Amino acid sequence: MAAGPATPAVAEVLARLADIAGRRAVLTEPAALAPFTQERRGLFAGRPVAGVFLPGSTAEVAAGVKLAAAAGMAIVTQGGNTGLVGGAAPAAEARPQLILATRRLKRIRALDAAADTLIAEAGCVLADVQAAAAAADRLFPLSLAAEGSCQLGGNLATNAGGLNVLRYGNARALTLGLEVVLADGRIWSDLSGLRKNNAGYDLKQLFIGSEGTLGIITAASLRLFPPLRSRATAWLAPVDPAAAVTALARLRGALGERVIACELISRFALDCVLRHVPAARAPLTAEAPWHLLVEIADTDAHYPCRERLVELAGALMDAGLVSDGVIAESEAQRQALWRLREAVPEAQRREGASIKHDVSVPVAAVPDLLAAATSAVQARDAGVRVCAFGHLGDGNIHLNLSRPVAMADADFLAQWDDYNRLVHDLVIERGGSIAAEHGVGQLKVDALERYGDAVSLALMRTLKTALDPAGVLNPGKVVRAGRG
């Protein structure tokens, strides 16, 4: 995408940003802009984009915000650009947009192993935060398939969930404090890492999950945990989703917090991986309609995770809840099982166009939702292939639809809104959420308007207006301004 026409005011901002942060911190050439303007699924290509700014410090972020806001520009904050709802992509805007990419804010500022806290800058890649904690014999438990490229700021701005929410909670639960540049360029900082602080409103919670619309996160104080020193992983075949829910409840009843992950994978999702991922091998000998990847772990190196999991998996089979299963016998086998799960999104992409739903319902309602959505979708078109997988313990299912084999991608994608409506209606009927962990971004602004509670939407607009009255930060995302 080419940079938008640089008015004198915009050109002046870009020149001053280069003075402040260095010439290499301001990008305007189309080839240099492309990695920042391209959204991974090609769904969003907003404009105009005046340029990309790569600040190297919180002060440079603040200066950039002040300059851009004064010149009437909008700011799109971008981390690793792995979000799946168009939050980090420019929207269609009247104003010139500046993409503020955080990748140079990548210092681990402090780590206090005794207090179990770590202060990291927003541009740290999540895997690097995990590694810094591990080097100090600590665990930062946020983990998701994009962890090699997503950044801490993006994780917090989307309140990322991932694989270990069952035990450790989502990003919100892992955050003790934030440093944020506000829409007027002021810096709000609370990185004290206090576990108790009831001196007024808990302001950090406003910015976590706000998808770059209320402030720009520049650093965070995070909670660390003791490392997990023993672990066992099983791939089970529940007879159906209801059996999977019961199996998880029994595992948690017996093992409590030791159950750290429980992923449900449909047969179609696994088939996609086996078809498209080189060297992927079926974990079980018999075909099964549903699969469950369960991991248990303990901080005690001597806790008999494997023995307990073998024993409990046997009990699940005796109870008729599970028909088959395998326990990883080595770290390599464990990683191979996890690769099967983590490869699902990429493998599904190779099946052609898909329409995705990142939804959640109360855990007990997951089986009913899966059944109702599958039959509703296939009543509309029997050829649609339902690729369901997700974090069962959180009631969070990625209810993705792959196009019928013989249908052109464009013909299927033209029905995006209809299928969304069909699935989202069923989710709402079951007391669920249409945006479980990926956020709203641009993709679900209309859906939030449709399904959101009127009072909640009005409060969101009040907050947006109070914190960003000129609408400088990430316009066109999350909540539509100026109504209600």
CB proximity list for 225: less than 8 A, separation 6 or greater: 116, 138, 139, 140, 141, 168
- Answer yes or no: are the C-beta atoms of 144 and 377 closer than 8 Å: no
Whether 217 and 156 have beta carbons less than 8 Å apart is answered as yes
Nearer to ligand FAD, 17 or 160 (CB): 160
Cis bond leading into 48, ω under 30°? yes
Pairwise CA distance, residues 406 & 194, whole Å: 57
What is the closest distance, in whole angstroms, from the C-beta atom of residue 96 to ligand FAD in the complex?
17
Residue linked to tokens 């890492």:
193
On whether the CB atoms of residues 144 and 163 are closer than 8 A, the answer is yes
| Least distance to ligand FAD, CB of residue 93, Å | 14
Nearer to ligand FAD, 215 or 367 (CB): 215
Nearer to ligand FAD, 108 or 322 (CB): 108
**Rounded CA gap, 155 and 143, in Å?**
10
Closest to ligand FAD by CB, 121 or 324: 121
Report in angstroms how near the CB of residue 39 gets to ligand FAD at its nearest: 9
Closest approach of Cβ 319 to ligand FAD, in Å? Answer: 30
Minimum CB separation from ligand FAD for residue 161, in Å? Answer: 4
Which is closer to ligand FAD, CB of 36 or CB of 451? 36
CB of 360 or CB of 420, closer to ligand FAD:
360
Q: What DSSP state is assigned to residue 137?
A: T
Q: Please give the residue whose beta carbon sits closest to ligand FAD in the complex.
A: 154
Residue 391: in which H helix or E strand, if any?
strand 385-391
Of 302, 297, 307, whose CA–CA distance to 257 is shortest?
Answer: 297
In what helix (H) or strand (E) does residue 260 lie, and over which residues does it extend?
strand 259-266
Q: How far apart are CA 23 and CA 27, in angstroms?
A: 8
CB of 95 closer than 8 Å to CB of 72:
yes
DSSP-derived secondary structure for 26-95 = EE-SHHHHHHHH--TTS------EEEEE--SSHHHHHHHHHHHHHTT-EEEEESSS--SSSTTSPP--SS
DSSP H stretches of helix in 343-396: 344-349, 366-380
For the CB of residue 191, give the shortest distance to ligand FAD in the complex, in Å. Answer: 14
> Which residues, other chains included, contact 390 with Cβ-Cβ below 8 Å and sequence gap of 6+?
263, 264, 396, 397, 398, 399
**Closest CB to ligand FAD among residues 26, 75:** 75
Q: Which two tokens stand for residue 450?
A: 């449709």
Q: How far is the CB of 102 from ligand FAD (least distance, A)?
A: 5
Distance of closest approach, residue 195 Cβ to ligand FAD, in angstroms: 24
Name the site residues for ligand FAD (rule: CB under 6 A).
76-84, 87-88, 102, 122, 144-146, 150-151, 153-155, 157-158, 160-162, 211-212, 216-217, 345, 437-438, 441, 474, 477
Return the number of the residue (157 or 232) whose C-beta is nearest ligand FAD.
157
Question: In angstroms, what is the minimal distance from the CB of 253 to ligand FAD?
Answer: 25
Tokens for 84, please give them: 């799946």
Minimal distance in Å, beta carbon 431 to ligand FAD? 21
